[in-house]
Amino acid sequence: MEIVDLKKEFEKIYGNGESALFFSPGRVNLIGEHTDYNGGYVFPCALTFGSYLVIRKNDKSVVRFASLNFDFKTEIGLDKLEEKVSDGAWVNYPLGVMQQFARKGVAFVGMDLLFYGNIPNGAGLSSSASIELATAVALNDLYNCNLEMMEMVKLGQRAENQFVGVNCGIMDQFAVGMGKKDHALALKCDTLKWEAVPLTLGNYRIVIANTNKRRGLADSKYNERRTECDKAVEYISKVKPIKFLGDINLADFEELKNAIPEEVVMRRARHVVSENQRVVDAIPALQAGDLVKFGQLMNGSHDSLRDDYEVTGVELDALVEEARKIDGVIGSRMTGAGFGGCTVSLVDVNSVDTFIAEVGKNYKARTGLTPDFYVAEVGNGAGRIN
Ligand code: GLA
């Protein structure tokens, strides 16, 4: 949708007048899954699709929310902004962010907000973090808060943890906030040290495939995995005190794994430690242009998420298996939290059409679901559009 159209839609709902427009992308993680809340490395990039927000102050004492994607609209009195709207409503994302700004001392006046997003919903491409950061950059601008992007990234994560109630790590908000066109972001999640690495893909393209399987139990399973990782840290700490699983490498793990009496917990920890190593290896592989190695690490990542972390499922596994059968595919894995959502594959540019046709057909035959495909374009992080 064109920018002009969005402003037109805004005026249709709220009436004519000046307004400001902001954009915040979705993200895809290339490698490093379920490592962020374990103090490890992640390697995501921002996409060119995302969420738009048109906003202005009004002279009423209510904040009005609308979205072109959902029917649900609401207006909330300034004294009620800290109350959650019914569970699952999209408005909770901007509300959670507003709460964080209020805690920083921002005194809100009435506002009108219109959201529009072109990230496939529930696909694990961070539509929620995208809405959070769109709201954050807009409020930062509207109330002259001068917050650094990293502060807004942390604030977005807190909104999701504390208000929405999903115990996510920092990867999504970080990728969405700090994204850089044609770069992937190598982030160490405990220190928040990071580096933008040029995405020099030569003849290869990043192809995202959506299983179109709704991520039903995702949130509860996600929190269950987090608890299992905490348990692993506790067991290991009896022998060698650590704060995060990201504090140990594979050699340490081999020596320490006997300290974990529960087999399942041991496997969860083994995924985190081995995945972390794969990211550490993948970053220089990309820098050196060794895409074949990068692809092998992606394959290793999926297999570990399937066997040790057990967050893939029939649909993601089928999509990855079919992808790996295509000539010109050098790596394929699930991306994001898992339990549905998307895969990411490195595909030779000359094989992209075959990939879409063949994988689409074979996946449908196996699961009955029709997948969607996107050739990823990597864009910048959240900000104002003038
Ligand atoms: C979700 C969470 C992230 C991260 C990934 C798994 O996207 O929001 O913080 O944990 O899952 O890597």
pLDDT score of 384 more than 70 = yes
Over residues 130-149, mean pLDDT:
98
Q: Which of 34, 126, 160, 333 for mutating ligand 1's site (highest number of atoms within 8 Å of CB)?
A: 34
| Domain count for the chain | 1
Residue 184, burial from CB neighbour count under 10 angstroms (0-12, 13-18, 19+): buried
Q: Which residue has the higher pLDDT, 92 or 87?
A: 92
Ligand 1 nearest atom to the CA of residue 42, by list position:
12
Instruction: Kindly give the distance from the C-alpha atom of residue 234 to the centroid of ligand 1, in angstroms, as a whole number.
Output: 22
CA–CA dist 275, 148 (Å, integer): 30
For residue 155, pLDDT over 70 is answered with: yes
| Ligand 1 atom with the shortest distance to the CA of 37 | 10
Q: Which residues make beta-bridge pairs with 385?
A: 21
**By alpha-carbon position, which residue is closest to atom 9 of ligand 1?**
169
Least confident window among 206-215, 309-318, 319-328, 355-364: 206-215
Residue with CA at minimum distance from ligand 1 atom 8: 168
pLDDT of residue 197: 98
291 within domain boundaries: no
Q: Is 70 exposed, middle or buried (0-12, 13-18, 19+ CB in 10 A)?
A: middle
Q: Does position 166 have pLDDT exceeding 90, yes or no?
A: no
Atom of ligand 1 nearest to the CA of 222: 11
- What are the tens digits of pLDDT across the range 11-70? 999 999 999 999 999 999 999 999 999 999 999 999 999 999 999 999 999 999 999 998
Q: How far apart are CA 285 and CA 280, in angstroms?
A: 9
**Neighbouring C-beta atoms of residue 17, cutoff 10 Å:** 10
Which atom of ligand 1 lies closest to the CA of 34?
Answer: 12
For residues 290-317, give the mean pLDDT.
98
pLDDT at 1: 67
Residue 302 CA to ligand 1 centre (angstroms): 15
Spacing, Cα 260 to ligand 1 middle (Å): 24
- What pTM was estimated for this model as a whole? 0.97
Span 182-202, mean pLDDT? Answer: 97
84's tokens: 């959650």
* pLDDT exceeds 90 at position 87: no
- Residue 53 lies inside a defined structural domain of this protein: yes
Tell me the average pLDDT across 189-198.
98
Supply 275's token pair: 């995945």
From CA 94, how far away is CA 314, in angstroms rounded? 34
Position 169 in a domain: yes
Asked if residue 94 belongs to a domain, the reply is yes
Determine, yes or no, domain membership for 278.
no
Do the domain assignments include residue 114? yes
CA atoms of 169 and 157, how far apart (whole Å): 7
- The residue whose CA has the least distance to atom 2 of ligand 1 is 168
Pocket test for ligand 1, best of 33, 166, 172 (most atoms within 8 A of CB): 172
Q: CB–CB of 260/232 below 8 Å?
A: yes
Question: What is the number of the ligand 1 atom nearest to the C-alpha of 166?
Answer: 8
Tell me the pLDDT tens digit for each residue of 333-373: 999 999 999 999 999 999 999 999 999 999 999 999 999 99
Pick from 119, 132, 161, 171 the residue to mutate for probing ligand 1's pocket: most ligand atoms within 8 Å of its CB.
171
pLDDT, mean of residues 266-270: 98
Q: How far apart are CA 237 and CA 323, in angstroms?
A: 40
Centre of ligand 1 from the C-alpha of residue 336, in Å: 5
CATH of the domain at 155: 3.30.230.10
Domain that holds residue 97: 3-198+380-385
Ligand 1 geometric centre to CA of 98 (Å): 22
What residues are in contact with ligand 1 under a 6 Å CB criterion?
33-34, 36-37, 168-169, 171-172, 336-337
Q: Compute the distance between CA of residue 78 and CA of residue 108 in angstroms, rounded to an integer.
A: 7
For a substitution probing ligand 1, which of 168, 224, 304, 334 has the most ligand atoms within 8 Å of its CB?
168
Q: Is residue 323 part of a domain?
A: no
Q: How many CB atoms lie within 10 A of CB 345?
A: 30
Tokens of 110: 């009435």
Instruction: Tell me which residues are annotated as active site.
Output: 172
In a domain, 216, yes or no: no
| Predicted pLDDT at 188 | 98
